[in-house]
């Protein structure tokens, strides 16, 4: 008898299955694109409670967003090494297509940035390499498109494929990762009044007439650490970014995430946002709110990648003619 533990974190869903000689002993999934690292060990523990004797690990190798995909792959490889068993990589799209009874079709998963990971299948066999394209480009094929949400990689199918196919040894990233290594030397720490001179200078450079004053910062610092949390990022003692969040009545509100121009698009804002979300979870907030200036096309994809959705707009929020987009992320 061969028992296979199957894992996939290539989509918004974390999936784990346990099969033994074709019999499904465990099959469970959890849908949350930001909870792979938290949920996966719990699902595996539940599976091992059914049967601890694992002979092989099958893991979905993508394509998928880098941050989520690496959780499953790293877990599978580490477990296999510790247990001294083999692991087999499987194209996650193949596990998604396995149960679809159509002659020719495309399976598609969310690649973020308004793009889709996809592959084309005929009679159950993949006939193209996994690729990434705009959703509108897939429609040109004139084939049924089966999207993530209605379908997900099936961990049971993944386990069965692993028993009969050659292993995919490398993650199928296709494009650059959506989580970049931070620049060398960046250090994160609590923001204090000692940062005010630098912060005010950055505020004026970035926000102009709508910049915060020193008194506004001091007012927020006074709430810390009980109901507010402010972070600073610096290189060699120089302030290059800061962020702040406030918590009241079960809802946290992100007040600012600001990065100086020369250090943008380097993962610093993403790391600050992640740490603010972690703080809100510790405070047991049920949701997080934020306001973003309408037309801030650089920030919006970042917030959406963390699960924030637009719920309303506030006209003249930042001043005459300056509209704010209000976004919310549920934590429960």
> What pLDDT does 208 receive?
87
Mean pLDDT of 108-131: 91
Q: Which residues contact 46 (CB under 8 A, 6 or more apart)?
A: 16, 26, 28
Instruction: Flag whether the pTM goes above 0.85.
Output: no
Q: How many domains does the chain have?
A: 2
Mean pLDDT of 99-106: 92
Whether residues 209 and 295 share a domain: the answer is yes
Mean pLDDT of 241-257: 94
53 part of a folded domain:
yes
Residue 258, both tokens: 């600001």
> What pLDDT does 25 receive?
97
DSSP 138: H
> What pLDDT does 179 receive?
53
Whether residues 202 and 326 share a domain: the answer is yes
23 part of a folded domain:
yes
> Is pLDDT of 95 > 90?
yes
133 part of a folded domain:
no
CATH number of the domain that 318 lies in? 3.40.630.30
Of residues 33, 30, 67, the one with CA closest to residue 47: 30
Whether residues 300 and 226 share a domain: the answer is yes
Mean pLDDT of 300-327: 86
Helix axes 66-83, 36-50, angle to 10 degrees: 40
pLDDT band at 236 (very low <50, low <70, confident <90, very high): very high
> Is pLDDT of 249 > 60?
yes
Known catalytic membership, residue 220? no
Residue 171, both tokens: 């993650």
Whether residues 157 and 220 share a domain: the answer is no
242 part of a folded domain:
yes
CB 293 within 8 A of CB 313: no
DSSP H or E stretch at residue 199 = helix 196-207
> What pLDDT does 180 receive?
58
Known catalytic membership, residue 242? no
117 part of a folded domain:
no
> Is pLDDT of 103 > 80?
yes
138 part of a folded domain:
no
- Between 181 and 295, residue with greater pLDDT: 295
Mean pLDDT of 101-111: 94
Pairwise CA distance, residues 162 & 59, whole Å: 8
Q: Which domain holds residue 306?
A: 186-330
Tell me which of 132, 164, 196 is where a domain ends: 164
> What pLDDT does 309 receive?
86
Q: Dihedrals φ, ψ of 265, to 5°?
A: 60, 35
pLDDT digit string, tens, across residues 17-60: 999 998 999 999 999 988 999 999 999 999 999 999 999 999 99
Residue 53 forms beta bridges with which residues?
none
Residue 235 forms beta bridges with which residues?
186, 238
pLDDT band at 302 (very low <50, low <70, confident <90, very high): confident
Catalytic pick among 148, 203, 271, 291: 291
Mean pLDDT of 93-97: 97
CATH number of the domain that 31 lies in? 3.30.420.40
Whether residues 221 and 87 share a domain: the answer is no
44 part of a folded domain:
yes
Catalytic pick among 38, 180, 303, 330: 303
Mean pLDDT of 105-110: 96
- Whether residue 63 has a cis bond before it, omega within 30° of 0: yes
pLDDT digit string, tens, across residues 155-181: 999 999 999 988 998 889 876 555 556
Pairwise CA distance, residues 297 & 311, whole Å: 17
> Is pLDDT of 182 > 60?
yes
Q: Tell me the torsion sign for CA atoms 285, 286, 290, 295.
A: positive
pLDDT band at 61 (very low <50, low <70, confident <90, very high): very high
Pairwise CA distance, residues 182 & 190, whole Å: 18
Whether residues 88 and 195 share a domain: the answer is no
Whether residues 160 and 272 share a domain: the answer is no
Pairwise CA distance, residues 193 & 224, whole Å: 12
25 part of a folded domain:
yes
Q: Which of 2-16, 56-70, 157-171, 220-234 has the highest mean pLDDT?
A: 2-16
| N-term to C-term CA, the chain | 40
Whether residues 229 and 309 share a domain: the answer is yes
> What percent of the chain has pLDDT above 70?
97
> What pLDDT does 175 receive?
66
Average pLDDT, the chain: 91
Backbone Cα Rg of the chain = 23
Whether residues 14 and 160 share a domain: the answer is yes
Whether residues 190 and 85 share a domain: the answer is no
Whether residues 193 and 313 share a domain: the answer is yes
Whether residues 194 and 301 share a domain: the answer is yes
């Amino acid at each position: 008898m061969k028992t296979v533990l199957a894992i996939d974190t290539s989509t918004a869903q974390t999936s784990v299955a346990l099969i033994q000689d074709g019999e499904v002993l465990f099959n469970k999934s959890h849908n949350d694109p930001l909870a792979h690292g938290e949920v996966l060990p719990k699902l595996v523990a539940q599976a091992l409670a059914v049967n601890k004797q694992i002979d092989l690990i099958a893991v979905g190798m993508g394509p998928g967003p880098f941050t989520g995909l690496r959780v499953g792959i790293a877990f599978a490889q580490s477990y296999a090494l510790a247990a001294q068993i083999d692991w087999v990589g499987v194209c996650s799209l193949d596990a998604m297509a396995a149960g679809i009874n159509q002659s020719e079709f495309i399976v598609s998963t969310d690649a973020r940035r308004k793009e889709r990971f996809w592959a084309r299948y005929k009679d159950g066999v993949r006939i193209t390499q996994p690729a990434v394209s705009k959703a509108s480009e897939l429609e040109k094929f004139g084939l049924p498109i089966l999207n993530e949400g209605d379908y997900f990689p099936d961990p049971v199918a993944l386990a069965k494929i692993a028993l009969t196919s050659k292993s995919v040894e490398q993650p199928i990233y296709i494009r650059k990762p959506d989580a970049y290594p931070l620049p060398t030397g960046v250090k994160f720490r609590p923001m204090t009044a000692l940062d005010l001179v630098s912060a005010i200078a950055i505020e004026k450079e970035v926000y102009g007439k709508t910049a915060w004053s020193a008194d506004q910062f001091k007012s927020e610092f006074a709430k810390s650490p009980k109901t507010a949390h402010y972070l600073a990022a610096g290189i060699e003692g120089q302030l290059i970014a800061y962020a702040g969040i406030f918590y009241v009545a079960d809802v946290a509100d992100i007040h600012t995430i600001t990065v100086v121009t020369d250090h943008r698009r380097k993962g610093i804002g993403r790391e600050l946002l992640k740490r603010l979300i972690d703080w809100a979870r510790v405070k047991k907030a049920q949701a997080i709110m934020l306001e973003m200036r309408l037309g801030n096309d650089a920030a919006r994809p970042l917030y959406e990648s963390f699960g924030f959705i637009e719920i309303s707009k506030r006209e003249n929020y930042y001043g005459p003619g300056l509209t704010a987009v209000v976004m919310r992320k549920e934590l429960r």
